[in-house]
Amino acid sequence: MSDRRNWTLEKEDVMISILEGVVADGGRCDTGSFRPGTYELVALKMREKIKNITITSKHVQNKIKRLKDKYSAAYDMLNTSGFGWDDTHKCVTVASEILDEYLKKHPNKNYTVNRPFRHYERLVKVFGKDRATSSMAESAPDALDNMRLETEESETAAFTQALSTPSNVTSQMLPLLPLTQIQEKHQSGREREREMSIQQQQTSPRSLKKAWKGYPRILLS
């Protein structure tokens, strides 16, 4: 038996009604997923409610996944400034220029704006997300400007990060010298300091005076 089937609006209504009951009875986890056995339960109840229907838990699982993808796409739009909900036609609405900017950053094929989505508000209860209202704090032009500003800020941040990141050459650590070489360099440095100190003492006026006094007197006559 194929895992795909043709779903009518009647069958979708029945399945969503069953899912609403499952959620009311605590059948959805805190993570948003359904508890084990939910798909089998929904398929069983649908066979009880709809005569001569042949449906499996896999059919139910696939349908729920498609509905959730569609719902999530619409939900994200409704939680973006500039998008609204047409309660008469049961669809998401938005100005074309805002939609163009939105789709550049959020490509979407699960839901098309202005197309009816009659189950959306019921799926809010099923999938557990709060419905976004159509009253937006920003006007359409303001929302469009904000989208463009977010894009510019993202590009600027990426450019700044690239400038502040050291290159592979500069970020590589220089090899450490062996301990013996370090000791040798330190020892030779101390010896040079000692020699310079002796030379300074020998050439000081006091040292020259002592040396002068020590010369044989025959040289002075």
Domains of the chain by residue range: 9-141, 182-213
Tens digits of residue pLDDT in 29-67: 887 889 999 999 999 999 999 999 999 999 999 999 999
What's the pLDDT band for 151 if we cut at 50, 70, 90? Answer: low
pLDDT value for 109:
85
pLDDT value for 96:
94
Tens digits of residue pLDDT in 71-129: 999 999 999 999 999 999 999 999 999 999 999 999 888 999 999 999 999 999 999 76
pLDDT value for 204:
56
Grouping H, G, I as helix, E, B as strand and the rest as coil, residue 93 is: strand
Mutual angle of helices 57-78 and 9-24, in 10-degree steps: 80
* Cα pseudo-dihedral 59, 61, 67, 73, rounded to 10: -140
Q: How many CB atoms lie within 10 A of CB 53?
A: 14
Q: Which DSSP state fits 86?
A: E
Q: Do residues 126 and 23 lie in contact, with contact meaning Cβ atoms separated by under 8 Å?
A: yes
Measured in degrees and rounded to the nearest 5, phi and psi for residue 28 equal: -110, 130
